[in-house]
Amino acid sequence: MIRVVLLLMLLLLALLAGFVILNWPAFLTVFPLSLGVTEVEGPLGLIMLLIAALLAGPSWIYAIYVRQSGLLRAGRAAEEMQSLRRLAEREETSRYTALREFMATEMQTLAEQNHQLRAELRADLEKLAGRLESCAPQPATAEAEIIDLGLEEEDERI
């Protein structure tokens, strides 16, 4: 878009230059000019051309200034966005690290609770096996051996 506008401005400038060159004698023709309080003679075309140049020059300078300031603002905004992106990535990394630590702590707590519950279960089963032995020595021993084998197999799996 900017290139099209620039090319259009250059084309208009080239057309104006061609017009001035072709009509240079008319631009230099002297006419009586009124300044309000007095009257002078001068080349009206040349004076109008200078006035047009004096008005167009600052306009072009202002357009260049606006464009450059826009580019500078865009550059600053891009730098700020990059900084914010880096900050967001660091925050995300720290959240993942905190989540990983939390999960490790929770898994450790669950493992300890599991170990404690297994120990309590083993103690309860041993008490139950002792009671069964006191009631019926022969069959209880067989059941206690089966329970002990089951516990040993469970411990091996863990």
> pLDDT tens digits for 17-58?
899 899 989 888 898 988 888 899 989 888 888 998 898 888
Q: Phi/psi of residue 34, each to 5°?
A: -95, 130
pLDDT at 157 over 80: no
pLDDT number for residue 10 = 87
Yes or no: say if 51 and 27 are a contact pair by the CB < 8 Å rule: no
pLDDT number for residue 71 = 92
Query: What sign results for the dihedral spanned by CA atoms 103, 108, 112, 114?
Result: positive
Q: Which residue has the tokens 């297994």?
A: 118
pLDDT number for residue 135 = 74
pLDDT at 146 over 90: no
pLDDT number for residue 138 = 54
Compute the half-sphere exposure of residue 83: CA atoms within 13 Å on the CB side of its CA. 6
Where residue 76 falls among pLDDT bands split at 50, 70, 90? very high
**Rg of the chain, C-alpha, whole Å:** 48
Where residue 67 falls among pLDDT bands split at 50, 70, 90? confident
Cα angle for residues 136, 140, 142 (degrees, 5° grid): 140
Please state, as a whole number, how many other Cβ atoms lie within 10 Å of the Cβ of residue 143.
14
Average pLDDT over all residues of the chain: 85
Yes or no: say if 42 and 33 are a contact pair by the CB < 8 Å rule: yes
**What are 74's two structure tokens?**
């865009």
Q: Where are the domains of the chain?
A: 25-157
pLDDT number for residue 145 = 63
Yes or no: say if 32 and 39 are a contact pair by the CB < 8 Å rule: yes
